[in-house]
Structure formats: structure tokens, C-alpha cells
């Protein structure tokens, strides 16, 4: 498996965010976080609404948003993305430096870092986490670390230590040697591949990293549901299944203890229940769906901020589908793009609170450049002519016949419970009928959908979304090598020019932003013409917080729980 | 009475067997492959390892053998591990079961406490406005779907008027079982689940009471100058209640099936919500455990109903 870029499906989360250049994207009409001249008051409880329980509280094996919203309270990364610009900035590391040849990365930790249980935080914690990723069988994070010298040897149990990582200066300096240049290295490796760094002293009791026995790993142990120590603003207190996860403030947090005493992540059945909880004041802050935006905006006790998200929603077309062989044809995929009215979908689902996208890099990214991209405005006649150009012939029943004579009938599937995607599916079914293509809609659970849309021949079309990190590295989504089990190029996309541009973007040798932007532009142009996805839209995030809560300042890269400055939040009484 | 209970217990076995068979078949007929689901997200697994896991789970065996193996597991209270939570399904169920029982028991108390007086009032005030009002309520209570009532309750009384919480078992930060906060949170789901039962009871009870009122012994009691309240409690109600006990079967069924949706509407962390979410997420071990345990509880509650029936009407035992 090759390296993952920053990808976060609606619930599938593989965050390796990193940024290199400022691109302010916030569009906040009412800045929520006006700096208050008043003296912050201590005390109170912050409640965040989640839609479901966490599967795990340990980042190496976590793949879902609910789990991330828990582990990111206690396990931090050496660097983080600036909440507004996406630039990589210091977190646990005070300094990070990539050598001029691009082959050595050095992180220098802040002074006096300690875990909540009093144990010092050292580079050994980082190394332990990276080694845990190497030996885990449940993780989806391995490719982030695979260019480190000695990676394969440690992963396969030939060594008992990751040779390319040296911890110096009593644990304060982490030196990582790469076998080849990796442009997004600085930010991508801050979280040791997992995203958050584990307390090695406590975890060594359940999995010893100094071993060559590859049968043991960190995947199943009681600490995965019971974080033993915290480097974050909060300390895990208790988990009540179906009810909530409770945290208390960490007095040893390196940015200072939070003003607020307690943080609760409360479990709700769905997004509507979270919205209701926000309106009634049960939940202190959170985001709502576009359909609820107007209603929630009228609630006096809440203040709202609208900002762009770093992702998009799409319909993917499986070029390898056995049942719908026409999806391998570029004209057909373009016809499917012309055949759907994205503008109408956006009006119906987003109420205009978002922007249409025409290729992979979303408007929030520094790599975004929509110039010269075809916009595929809804055009039934053009769609039909493209289908006929591809060799399809209209049948007497109003459905096109493919070159082998079979009717152009296929399935589009999406995850049940996601209102927006279910609506897109209805639109697709209706509108594709008008261009002579028959759609069978299929709703599945999210897990089952991910499972079914694994690279292969067994599915046709599907509606999903990506949420992307600040540093653009779409290698894992579009490179032709990424079509193995569990990999993300599940539409079977192959284009040699795109393959090369993806490699240029990540392995340089020129890692300057100008060079990478040019490479990514090539990727976008090709995707726009090849249409492996019908790219739909990038929705805005509609964030609301209780007016009494001061200091909240959400933005694109503040991630879901917007806790980048949570220690400074306080309640005005 | 002992022999009666023993006989009823034996009779419950075929019912239980039927439930188990149906649960097993439904989960096996589903198009999703349990091995695929268990290995979702694990990318280093070879096809051989996949097959070996399938073999170790017994999924390569013929269905009857799989069923027997499953029964054997159940006999050892082993429902397998949740695919989603990676924990024993039984543990998850047992964590949630007490929460569901709170709603069911409270709903039963409310149903009896409100339904029986309404039935007596309807009969004693036959043809008057009270009787008509109760009849309208009965029809409406039957006709309105619980999930709709629950949603309307949440939207109006909780979200708009803020008289009640929108759901959950306690206010965040409060953790108690027997306290006002819990009662306040229980009120919504209990009222909604009880409505169908409350609507059902007066209908049955009214007919029975009217029949009993016409009996000679009631006339005799009246002629002896007994107080009306005494006549209703001692002579009318005790005899009129016999068919009502039978109707508890239906009421219990409503509680169990209703909790699937109502717990979700009221965000109540009970067995119903867990089973619902497991079904949507195709977490088969949890669905199977949830269905089996709910069914066993239902069968047991039917047994209690039969015993209660035999107690209020000794003729049943003879039959």
C-alpha cells in the first residue's frame, strides 16, 4: 500500500494534515471569537454533540470521526495545521526542520513537556507510536511512514527498532531519515503516522515495541478504550456507552490549563438530535446541516460562524464494474456529469451554502485553480450525444443499449442516514432517466458501503465525500497503484500523466509550492476531463456556539471539535 | 400452581426455539458477509487468512450445523463479539438492558394507573361526556403511530416550549437513578409508549364492567347498602379485570417493539436503540443477542401474565 494523503471520508478518517502556504478561506459573517477585554472566568462545562459512540480511543487503529473526536482530546501531534491558513505550526515540537536534501527531518520538542500522570514526554513516545503503527494489522496509516529508513525491516520483524529514527538530547530531539524525498513530510509525520502520540510508558505494559514477534501488536488491549495519560487539554474520566465520554481539564497542558473544568462529548442518535440539543442549550457548540441553518440562526442564545470545509462530495464511477462496462468509457462518464443538475442539487441540499467543484483540489486549498476546467452545466442533449458517440443506441423503452446490447442500467449506492447523499441519489435517479440511463438506488450502512466499494468489479456508482488535510497529496486517491484491497483508488482510475504529476507533487525533487501547484494543476485538469468522479460540491460548515461561551474561533482547519484554542474558552456568567 | 408454571415453562420452549431459528435464518440470509464486515479496515489479510477465519467461525459448515453450533454457544451465553465495538455482544446488551427496563416498568405502571380508572369511569358514566371523551381518546391513541407522537413531543414540548428535556436519561453532569432529574427525563418516552396501552385498557375494561354491573351479586351488594366505591373495588373491578390481564400480553409487546423507535427518538441508551443501530450498521452478533434477549424477556413476561391470569381466575388452572 502506498502513502495516504490527508483523507477523511464522512466517517473514514485518515488525517495527515499539513500545510505550506497561507490561504485564508474563512467566510465568517459574525466573528464568534471577538477578543474580549473582560477577565476570563474559570469553571463550567463544555458539551459537544457526537452522532454515535467512539469505536476506539486509540489513534493507531481509529478510522472514524467519532473516535477521532475522543482521542484528539488527549493525544497530540508534534505539529498542527494553522486553524485558518492550514500552515504547519508548532505544537509539541517547538522547531521542525527538513534538511536541504529532503532526506532528514528533525523535530525539537518544547522544554518541560509532561504527560498528565507526571511522566516526561520524550521522542521515545513518538518512536513507540510509529512502531505501533508498523506492527498494527488494523491500522490504515502505515503508508505515511513507509519511506523511513528501516521501515520494512521493523514492520516485518527483522529488527526490534525502527532504524531510521534516532532520539537525541535526552529525548528532546527526534531525527528521522528517509529513503527518498517526501515533500509533505514535516506535517505528515508530526503525529507519528497515527495522528496522535501515545504515552509509551503506559502502553508498553500492554504491547512491548522492543520485539521481533510480529504476532503481538497494539490492536486489542484495555487501554484502547481507557486512555491512561494525556498531553492534550483534557484528561479522560469515563465512558458511558450510548450516553457520553467525560473529560476533566489537564492542569499540566503545555499551553496552560483550560478555564473550563469539564468537557463532555455526548452521544446523539443523529444530526437532527444534535441540532435540537444545540437549540435547547444542552449542547454548547457544534455544526448543523444546511436545512437547519435558518432555524438555528434565529435562536437568541446561539452565535453562528460559517466557514468553508476542506472537502467535497462526489459520485464515483467504477471503471472496472462488471455489470456496467460503459463506465470505463470517458464519453459516458462525461455524459453522466452533463446529465446531472448540480446547481439544482446544491439549491435543494445546501440552500446555496457551499460551492460547486470541478476537480479534486477544493477551494480552501492553496493548490486550487479552477481556470480552464470544464464546468459541465446540465445539458441533456449534450449528454445524449456523448452517449451515442460512445456507441450507445436508444432502445424502444427510452433506455440506451450499450455496444453489447445490454440496457444501460446500473446501481448507485450511498450510506443510509446521510440526508444530503440520499437526496443526491434521488436526483440522480430522476435526472439520469431523462438521458436514457436507468439507476437502481441502494442504501447501505456506512461500514457496509465502504466494504462494498473496495477496489474491484462488484459495484457501479456510489456517492461519498472526502475531507482533505491542509497539505494536498492526493496520491492515494488517484495513483494507479492504489487499487489494492482497502485502498482509495476504488474507481479504477489509470492515467500515466496523472501518476507522474502525483509523484512530482510528493517526491519532488522540487518541493517548492510553485512546483507542486503546477503538478497538482495537471492532476486537476486530467480529472476534470476524464471524469472518474462526477465532482459535485464543497459544503460550508455551519457552526454555532452558545453566546456565553467566549473565545471560540472556528475555521477550516480547526477540525471538527475546533479545539485548537480550547484552553482559552470560558463562560461569561 | 407449581405444576401449572412447569407446564407453561415447557410450552415456552417451542416458542423460544422458533424465535432462535428465525433470528438465525434472517441473519444468515442477509447479503452481507460477516467475514468481510469483521475484516473491514484490515488490509494485510490474505485470501487464505480470510478463509481460515471463515473456517474458525464455522461459516463454511452447512446451515443446520451452524445453527446447532450457535445454539451451543448460546447455551454458554456466548453471543460472539460486536463487529463495531470489538467487545462481547452480551456485555453491551447487559449494559443497556436496565435502561430499557426502566422505561418498560414505568410505562406499565402508568398504563395501569391511568388506563384502569379511565375504563371504570367510561363504564360508570356510560353515555355521558366522560364516556365519549374517553372513547375518542382510545381511538386516537390506537391510531397515532408512536414514533410520530414521540417526534411531535420532542419538537413541541422539548425543543419549542422547553418544558421537557429533548432526551437522554439525565441532564449532563447529573447521574442518578431515583431522582427528579431521571423522572423528568423518563416522562416523555414513558408517556409516548404508554399511550397505546392506556388507549387499549378502557376499551376492554368498559365492556367488562358493564357486563359485571348487570350481575345479580352487584345488585345484591347495592341493595345491602354498600358504598359505591366499595362495590366498584370489591365486586366489579376484581371480576372485570380478568380479561384485562390477558390484554397485558399485547401491552408488553407494544413496549418491546415501541422501545426500538422510541429510544432512538428520545436518545435513550437502551436495548432498543442499541439493536436498531446494530441493525443499521449490520453488527449481527449484537442484533442477534438483542433479539434473543428481548424475545426471552417477552416470553417470560407472557409467563408472568399467564400466572397472574391463573391467580385472578382459578378456573384457568383446571383447564
Cα distance between residue B169 and residue B267, in whole Å? 8
Q: How far is A397 from A407, CA to CA, in rounded Å?
A: 10
Contact of B37 with B83, CB cutoff 8 Å: yes
- Which residue did the predictor score with more confidence, B125 or B255? B125
Mean pLDDT of B229-256: 78
- Beta-carbon neighbour count of residue B63 at 10 Å? 11
Contact criterion met (CB below 8 Å) for A77 and A141: no
Q: Return the SS3 of B165.
A: coil
Q: With cut-offs at 50, 70 and 90, classify the pLDDT of residue A11.
A: very low
Listed range (A154-158, B37-41, B291-295) with the worst mean pLDDT: B37-41
Residues of A in contact with B86 (CB under 8 A): 55-56, 220
Give residues 245 to 284 of A whose Cβ lies within 8 Å of B.
Answer: 262, 264, 266-269, 273, 276-277, 279-280, 282
Rounded CA gap, A81 and A556, in Å? 10
The pair phi, psi for residue A538, each rounded to 5°, is: -115, 115
Residue B302 has pLDDT above 90, yes or no: no
What pLDDT is attached to residue A6?
32
By C-alpha distance, the chain B residue nearest A450 is B40
> Which residues in chain A have Cβ-Cβ distances shorter than 8 Å to B270?
242
**Length in residues, chain A:** 573
**Which of the residues B30, B31, B34, B44 would you substitute to probe the A interface, choosing the one with the greatest number of A C-beta atoms within 10 Å?**
B44
Rounded to whole angstroms, the Cα distance separating A317 from A493 reads 9
Query: Do you find a cis peptide bond into A509, omega within 30 degrees of 0?
Result: yes
The closest alpha carbon to A58, from A50, A48, A68, belongs to A68
- pLDDT higher than 50, residue A27: no
Residue A340 pLDDT > 70? yes
Q: Distance (Å, rounded) from C-alpha A124 to C-alpha A175?
A: 11
> Nearest-CA neighbor of A267 among A69, A560, A11?
A69
Tell me, what's the pLDDT at B252? 72
CA distance B179 to A465: 45
A300-309 pLDDT, tens digit per residue, is 999 998 999 8
B85 interfacial to chain A (CB closer than 8 Å): yes
Confidence of residue A379 (pLDDT cuts 50, 70, 90): very high
Give the best residue of A54, A447, A482, A490 to mutate against chain B (max B CB count within 10 A).
A447
Whole-angstrom Cα distance, residue B66 to residue B57? 9
C-alpha cell at B267: 436518545
Q: If pLDDT is split at 50, 70 and 90, which confidence band does A218 have?
A: very high
Please answer whether residues A347 and A284 qualify as being in contact, where contact means their C-beta atoms are separated by less than 8 angstroms.
Answer: no
User: Stretch B2-16: mean pLDDT, rounded?
Assistant: 85
Window 343-382 of A: residues touching B by CB (8 A cutoff) are none
Mutate which of A280, A417, A476 to disrupt the B interface (most B C-beta within 10 Å)?
A280
pLDDT at A14 over 60: no
How many Å lie between the alpha carbon of A339 and the closest alpha carbon of chain B? 31
- Hey, are the CB atoms on B86 and A56 less than 8 Å from each other? yes
Closest CA of chain A from B51, distance in Å? 16
Set of cell numbers at residue B53: 477465519
Mean pLDDT of chain A: 88
In this prediction, residue A560 carries a pLDDT of 60
Instruction: Please give the ipTM for the structure prediction.
Output: 0.78
CA B52 vs CA A291, A486, A543, B58: distances in Å: 48, 20, 48, 10
The pLDDT of residue B39 is 64
Please determine, for residue A561, whether its predicted confidence score (pLDDT) is greater than 70. no
Among B48, B160, B280, the residue to mutate for chain A (most A Cβ within 10 A)? B280
Considering only the beta carbons, identify the residue of B85, B95, B270 that sits closest to A55.
B85
Residue A496 has pLDDT above 60, yes or no: yes
For B45, which residue in chain A has the nearest alpha carbon? A137
Q: Cα–Cα distance between B195 and A511 in angstroms, integer?
A: 68
B198 vs B110: CA distance, rounded Å: 8
What is the per-residue pLDDT across B25-67, written as a single tens digit (0 to 9) for each?
887 777 666 676 666 555 556 667 677 777 766 777 888 888 8
Q: Using CB atoms and an 8 Å cut-off, which of residues 192-251 of chain B contact chain A? A: none
Best mutation site among B152, B155, B267 for testing chain A: the one with the most A CBs within 10 Å? Answer: B267
- Residues on chain A touching B40 (C-beta within 8 angstroms): 447, 450-451
| A100-125: average pLDDT | 95
Residue A497 has pLDDT above 50, yes or no: yes
Compute CA distances B128 → A36, A66, A381, B215, whole Å.
Answer: 66, 57, 70, 22
**pLDDT, tens digit, for every residue of A518-550?**
999 999 999 999 999 999 999 999 999 999 999
* Closest-approach residue (CA) in chain A for B158: A280
Contact B267 A273 (CB under 8 A): yes
Instruction: Rank A63-67, A349-353, A516-520, B178-182 by mean pLDDT and report only the highest.
Output: A516-520
Distance from the Cα of B85 to chain A's closest Cα (Å) equals 5
pLDDT at residue B298, as a whole number: 83
At residue B45, the pLDDT reads: 60
Q: Is the minimum CB–CB distance between B44 and chain A shorter than 8 Å? A: yes
What pLDDT, on the 0 to 100 scale, is given for residue A23?
28
Report how far apart the first and last C-alpha atoms of chain A are (Å, whole number).
53
Highest mean pLDDT among A5-14, A161-170, B214-223: A161-170
DSSP string, A214-250: TT--SSS-GGGGS----SSSEEEEEEETTTEEEEEE-
Average pLDDT over residues A388-403: 95
Structural contact between residues A178 and A511, judged by C-beta atoms closer than 8 angstroms: no
**Cell 450510506 sits on residue:** A415
Distance from CA of B19 to the nearest CA of A (A): 25
- B173 band by pLDDT with thresholds 50, 70 and 90: confident
The fraction of chain A above a pLDDT of 90, given in percent, is 65
CB A453 within 8 A of CB A447: no
Average confidence (pLDDT) over A412-418: 85
Q: B251 vs A521, which has greater pLDDT?
A: A521
How far apart, in Å, are the Cα atoms of A550 and each of A117, A261, A573?
A: 29, 15, 10
pLDDT tens, A238-270?
998 889 999 999 999 999 999 999 999 999 888
CA A155/CA A523 separation, integer angstroms? 32
Range with lowest mean pLDDT among A139-143, A178-182, B315-319: B315-319
Element (H, E) at B35: helix B34-38
d(CA A366, CA A22): 7
Chain A hits for B171, CB-CB cut-off 8 Å, are: 282
Between B49 and B122, the more confident residue is: B122
A-chain residues near B30 (CB < 8 A) = none
- Out of A112-121, A251-260, B218-227, B306-315, pick the least confident: B306-315
Cell of residue B102, nine digits: 426502566
pLDDT at B317: 59
Q: Chain B residue closest to A296 (CA)? A: B159
Distance from C-alpha of A198 to C-alpha of A206, rounded to nearest angstrom = 12
> What is the radius of gyration, based on Cα positions, of chain A?
24
**Percent of chain A at pLDDT above 70?**
92
- Which residues in chain A have their CB less than 8 angstroms from residue B267's CB? 267-269, 273
Distance from the B159 Cα atom to the nearest Cα atom in chain A, whole angstroms: 6
Cβ-Cβ contacts under 8 Å for A520 (sequence gap 6 or more): A361, A367, A472, A474, A501, A505
pTM of this structure:
0.83
The residue in chain A having the minimum alpha-carbon distance to the alpha carbon of residue B31 is A448
Sign of CA dihedral A12, A16, A22, A28: positive
| Most A CBs within 10 Å, among B49, B87, B153, B168, to test the A interface | B168
Query: In B, which residues are within 8 Å of A264 by CB distance?
Result: 172-173
- CA-to-CA dists, residue A219 to A133, A134, A146, angstroms: 10, 11, 19
Provide mean pLDDT across the span A180-204. Answer: 91
How many pairs of residues across A and B have Cβ atoms under 8 Å apart?
98
Q: Do A241 and B44 touch (CB under 8 A)?
A: no
B43·A1 Cβ contact <8 A: yes
CA of A220 to nearest chain B CA: how many angstroms apart? 9
Amino acid at each position: 500500500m502506498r502513502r495516504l494523503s490527508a483523507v477523511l471520508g464522512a466517517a473514514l478518517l485518515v488525517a495527515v494534515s499539513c500545510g505550506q502556504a497561507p490561504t485564508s478561506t474563512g467566510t465568517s459573517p459574525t466573528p464568534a471569537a471577538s477578543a474580549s477585554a473582560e477577565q476570563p472566568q474559570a469553571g463550567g462545562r463544555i458539551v459537544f454533540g457526537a452522532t454515535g459512540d467512539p469505536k476506539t480511543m486509540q489513534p493507531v487503529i481509529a478510522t472514524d470521526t467519532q473516535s477521532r473526536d475522543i482521542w484528539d482530546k488527549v493525544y497530540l501531534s508534534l505539529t498542527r495545521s494553522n486553524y485558518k491558513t492550514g500552515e504547519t505550526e508548532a505544537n509539541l515540537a517547538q522547531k521542525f526542520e527538513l534538511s536541504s536534501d529532503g532526506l532528514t527531518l528533525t523535530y525539537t520538542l518544547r522544554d518541560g513537556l509532561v504527560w498528565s500522570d507526571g511522566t516526561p514526554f520524550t521522542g521515545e513516545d513518538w518512536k513507540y507510536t510509529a512502531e505501533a503503527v508498523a506492527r498494527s494489522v488494523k491500522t490504515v496509516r502505515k503508508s505515511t511512514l513507509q519511506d523511513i529508513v528501516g521501515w520494512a525491516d521493523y514492520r516485518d520483524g527483522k529488527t526490534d527498532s525502527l532504524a531510521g529514527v534516532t532520539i537525541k538530547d535526552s529525548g528532546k530531539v527526534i531525527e528521522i531519515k528517509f529513503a527518498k524525498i517526501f515533500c509533505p513530510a514535516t506535517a505528515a509525520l508530526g503525529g507519528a503516522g497515527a495522528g496522535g502520540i501515545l504515552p509509551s510508558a503506559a502502553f508498553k505494559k500492554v504491547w512491548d515495541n522492543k520485539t521481533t514477534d510480529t504476532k503481538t501488536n497494539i490492536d486489542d488491549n484495555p487501554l484502547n478504550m481507557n486512555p491512561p495519560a494525556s498531553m492534550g487539554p483534557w484528561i479522560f474520566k469515563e465512558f458511558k456507552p450510548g450516553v457520553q465520554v467525560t473529560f476533566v481539564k489537564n492542569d499540566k497542558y503545555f499551553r496552560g490549563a483550560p478555564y473550563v473544568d469539564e468537557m463532555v462529548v455526548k452521544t446523539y442518535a443523529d444530526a437532527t438530535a444534535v441540532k435540537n440539543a444545540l437549540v435547547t442549550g444542552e449542547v454548547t457548540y457544534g455544526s448543523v446541516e444546511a436545512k437547519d441553518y435558518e432555524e438555528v440562526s434565529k435562536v437568541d442564545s446561539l452565535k453562528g460562524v460559517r466557514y468553508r470545509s476542506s472537502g467535497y462530495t462526489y459520485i464515483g464511477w467504477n471503471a472496472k464494474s462488471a455489470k456496467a462496462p460503459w463506465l470505463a468509457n470517458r464519453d459516458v462518464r462525461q455524459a453522466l456529469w452533463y446529465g446531472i443538475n448540480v446547481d439544482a442539487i446544491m439549491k435543494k441540499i445546501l440552500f446555496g451554502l457551499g460551492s460547486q467543484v470541478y476537480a479534486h483540489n477544493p477551494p480552501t486549498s492553496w493548490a486550487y485553480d479552477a481556470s480552464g476546467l470544464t464546468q459541465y452545466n446540465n445539458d441533456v442533449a449534450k449528454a445524449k450525444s456523448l452517449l451515442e458517440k460512445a456507441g450507445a443506441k436508444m432502445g424502444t423503452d427510452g433506455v440506451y443499449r450499450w455496444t453489447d446490447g445490454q440496457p444501460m442500467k446500473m446501481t448507485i449506492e450511498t450510506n443510509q442516514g446521510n440526508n444530503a447523499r440520499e437526496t443526491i441519489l434521488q436526483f440522480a435517479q430522476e435526472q439520469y432517466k431523462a438521458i436514457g440511463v436507468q439507476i437502481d438506488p441502494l442504501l447501505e450502512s456506512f461500514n457496509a458501503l465502504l466494504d462494498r466499494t473496495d477496489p474491484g468489479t462488484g459495484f457501479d456508482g456510489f456517492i461519498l465525500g472526502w475531507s482533505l488535510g491542509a497539505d494536498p497529496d492526493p496520491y492515494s486517491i488517484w495513483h494507479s497503484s492504489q487499487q489494492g484491497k482497502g485502498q482509495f483508488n476504488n474507481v479504477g482510475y489509470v492515467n500515466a500523466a496523472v501518476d507522474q504529476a502525483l509523484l512530482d507533487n510528493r517526491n519532488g525533487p522540487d518541493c517548492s509550492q510553485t512546483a507542486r501547484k503546477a503538478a497538482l494543476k495537471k492532476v486537476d485538469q486530467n480529472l476534470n476531463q476524464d471524469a472518474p468522479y462526477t465532482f459535485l460540491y464543497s459544503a460550508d460548515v455551519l457552526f454555532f456556539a452558545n453566546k456565553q461561551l467566549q473565545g471560540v474561533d472556528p475555521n477550516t482547519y480547526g477540525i471538527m471539535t475546533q479545539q485548537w484554542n480550547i484552553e482559552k474558552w470560558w463562560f461569561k456568567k | 400452581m407449581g405444576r401449572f408454571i412447569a407446564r407453561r415453562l415447557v410450552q415456552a420452549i417451542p416458542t423460544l426455539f422458533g424465535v432462535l431459528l428465525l433470528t438465525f435464518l434472517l441473519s444468515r440470509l442477509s447479503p452481507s458477509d460477516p467475514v468481510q464486515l469483521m475484516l473491514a479496515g484490515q488490509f494485510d489479510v490474505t485470501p487464505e487468512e480470510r478463509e481460515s477465519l471463515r473456517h474458525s467461525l464455522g461459516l463454511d459448515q452447512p446451515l443446520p450445523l451452524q445453527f446447532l453450533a450457535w445454539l451451543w454457544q448460546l447455551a454458554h451465553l456466548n453471543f460472539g463479539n460486536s463487529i463495531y465495538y470489538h467487545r462481547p455482544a452480551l456485555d453491551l446488551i447487559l449494559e443497556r438492558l436496565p435502561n430499557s427496563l426502566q422505561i418498560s416498568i414505568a410505562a406499565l405502571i402508568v398504563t395501569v394507573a391511568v388506563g384502569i380508572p379511565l375504563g371504570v369511569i367510561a363504564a360508570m358514566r356510560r353515555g355521558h361526556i366522560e364516556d365519549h371523551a374517553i372513547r375518542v381518546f382510545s381511538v386516537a391513541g390506537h391510531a397515532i403511530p408512536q414514533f410520530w407522537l414521540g417526534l411531535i413531543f420532542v419538537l413541541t414540548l422539548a425543543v419549542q416550549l422547553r418544558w421537557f428535556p429533548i432526551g437522554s436519561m439525565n441532564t449532563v453532569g447529573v447521574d442518578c437513578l431515583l431522582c427528579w432529574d431521571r423522572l423528568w427525563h423518563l416522562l416523555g418516552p414513558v408517556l409516548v409508549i404508554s399511550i397505546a396501552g392506556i388507549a387499549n385498557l378502557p376499551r376492554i375494561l368498559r365492556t367488562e364492567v358493564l357486563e359485571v354491573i348487570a350481575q345479580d351479586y352487584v345488585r345484591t351488594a347495592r341493595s345491602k347498602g354498600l358504598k359505591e366505591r366499595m362495590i366498584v373495588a370489591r365486586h366489579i373491578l376484581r371480576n372485570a379485570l380478568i380479561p384485562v390481564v390477558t390484554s397485558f400480553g399485547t401491552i408488553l409487546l407494544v413496549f418491546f417493539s415501541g422501545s426500538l423507535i422510541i429510544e432512538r427518538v428520545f436518545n435513550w441508551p437502551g436495548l432498543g436503540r442499541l439493536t436498531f443501530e446494530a441493525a443499521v450498521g449490520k453488527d449481527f452478533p449484537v442484533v442477534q443477542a438483542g433479539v434473543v434477549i428481548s424475545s426471552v424477556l417477552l416470553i417470560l413476561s407472557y409467563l408472568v401474565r399467564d400466572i397472574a391470569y391463573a391467580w385472578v381466575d382459578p378456573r384457568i388452572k383446571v383447564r
